[in-house]
């Protein structure tokens, strides 16, 4: 049964992650309306003018975003949420019931923006953010009793709930990010090392959504590798998919630079990639990394490989995503990077991201 569970888990994680990996959603949230105040007069035999006894209305329910580590994408978030309304106040000074809260589950790592400003960043499992407050309940006529007015008929309606339009963004919390220019072979590589199956073709265009591939190791550890939309020169000035791409790279713990070895002077690709990252956010290009020289099956690549190794200090792993040549070395090194990350997080008292 363990195998069956694993198979199921694998099937669903693959299906969900690759096809539905959504990284931003616009959502309108409206808090529940407060209930109106009660308006009644107390009356029983021998006590005809018992005075006002309408209770207050209940408050409307809030809409609350809640981070949940089970979720990996924003695909389940609907475009509209409405809190439950408060109930009307009753007689005999009974208060109306408060409206129930509506909880919207979002993945850990969701940014909440309003008018372009970040209003919340949900980075911990279980963290909550009130997206829209419910309206206050109205006052029943009992509330308006005074010496001047012994039989108030006045009561107030409940207030409407807060209404907002929020933009949710998910910064991919994969362990490793594949960084490379279009056509370097990132999608093919992701497909080769994991069970993700992005659409692949020789276009100098680029994957539009980040695809996450899960690499399964024998001891059931899983390393998540995100193929992040292709970088082009000038991305930090928001050319191409620019910022959208760079947003995702921020959360990756280590980077896999993919360069096309068959192009002349492949080290220039690496310099350009690192420059783009550094321009976007200082220190990004210093993350732990490995350089993957792809397309080693081509003759030109074999000539370029020693030249690349001379030019750069980082470790180079030459492989072919197409033929599967030398993938093992990458998988072993990927696991080393992951284990180091887990140890570092634990020594700092943090919880490493697990998939």
List, run by run, the mean pLDDT of 10-residue segments along the chain (355 residues).
Answer: 58 42 81 91 73 89 92 85 92 88 91 90 90 93 85 88 92 77 78 57 42 74 74 56 61 85 84 83 83 84 80 83 81 87 84 69
DSSP of 65-77, one letter per residue?
Answer: EEEETT--SSTT-
pLDDT of the residue at 231: 62
Are 130 and 99 found together in one domain? yes
Are 322 and 230 found together in one domain? yes
**CA 85 to CA 260: how far, in whole Å?**
59
Are 37 and 167 found together in one domain? yes
Q: Which of 171, 193, 215 is the last residue of a domain?
A: 171
In-domain check, residue 6 = no
Measure the N-to-C terminal CA separation of the chain; round to a whole number of Å. 20
Number of domains composing the chain: 2
In-domain check, residue 52 = yes
Burial of 1 (0-12, 13-18, 19+ CB in 10 A): exposed
pLDDT of the residue at 154: 87
Q: Which residues of 18-38 are buried (b: 16+ CB within 10 A; e: fewer)?
A: beebbbbbebbbbbbbbbbbb
Phi and psi angles of residue 273, each rounded to the nearest 5 degrees, phi first: -60, -50
Cβ 55 vs Cβ 93: under 8 Å: yes
Q: Which of 150, 171, 192 is the last residue of a domain?
A: 171
In-domain check, residue 353 = no
Of 222, 81, 55, 76, whose CA–CA distance to 155 is shortest? 55
Q: Which of 135, 150, 171 is the last residue of a domain?
A: 171
pLDDT of the residue at 32: 94
Are 273 and 207 found together in one domain? yes
Cβ 134 vs Cβ 70: under 8 Å: no
Are 139 and 207 found together in one domain? no
DSSP of 97-135, one letter per residue?
Answer: PPPPPEEEEEETTEEEEETTEEEEEE-STT-EEEEEPPP
pLDDT of the residue at 70: 82
Domain assignment of residue 301, given as a range: 176-348
Structure letter (DSSP) for residue 279: H
pLDDT of the residue at 201: 38
pLDDT of the residue at 128: 95
pLDDT of the residue at 333: 86
Sign of the alpha-carbon torsion through 17, 256, 342, 219:
positive
């Amino acid at each position: 049964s363990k195998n069956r569970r694993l198979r199921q888990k694998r099937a669903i994680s693959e299906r969900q992650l690759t096809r539905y990996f959504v990284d931003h959603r616009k959502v309108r949230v409206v808090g529940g309306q407060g209930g109106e105040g009660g308006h009644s007069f107390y009356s029983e035999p021998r006590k005809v003018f018992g005075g006002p006894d309408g209770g207050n209305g209940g408050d409307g329910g809030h809409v609350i975003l809640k981070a949940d580590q089970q979720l990996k994408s924003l695909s389940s978030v609907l475009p509209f949420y409405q809190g439950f309304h408060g109930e009307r106040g009753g007689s005999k000074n009974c208060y109306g019931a408060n409206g129930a809260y509506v909880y919207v589950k979002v993945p850990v790592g969701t940014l909440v923006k309003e008018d372009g400003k970040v209003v919340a960043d949900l980075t911990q499992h279980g963290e909550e953010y009130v997206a829209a407050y419910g309206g206050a309940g109205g006052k029943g006529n009992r509330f308006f009793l005074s010496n001047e007015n012994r039989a108030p008929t006045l009561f107030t309606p409940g207030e409407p709930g807060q209404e907002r339009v929020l933009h949710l963004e998910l910064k991919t919390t994969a362990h490793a990010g594949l960084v490379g220019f279009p056509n370097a072979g990132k999608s093919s590589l992701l497909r080769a090392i994991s069970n993700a199956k992005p659409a692949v073709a020789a276009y100098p265009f680029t994957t539009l959504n980040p695809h996450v591939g899960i690499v399964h190791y024998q001891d059931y550890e899983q390393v998540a590798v995100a193929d992040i939309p292709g970088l082009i020169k000038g991305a930090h000035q928001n050319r191409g998919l620019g910022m959208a791409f760079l947003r995702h790279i921020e959360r990756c713990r280590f980077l896999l630079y993919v360069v096309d070895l068959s192009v002349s002077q492949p080290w220039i690709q690496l310099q350009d990639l690192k420059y783009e990252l550094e321009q976007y956010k200082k220190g990004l290009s210093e993350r732990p990394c490995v350089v993957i020289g792809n397309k080693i099956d081509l003759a030109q690549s074999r000539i370029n490989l020693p030249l690349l190794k001379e030019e750069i200090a980082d470790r180079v792993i030459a492989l072919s995503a197409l033929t599967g040549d030398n993938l093992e070395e990458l998988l072993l090194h990927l696991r080393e990077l992951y284990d180091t990350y887990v140890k570092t997080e634990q020594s700092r008292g943090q919880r490493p991201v697990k998939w």
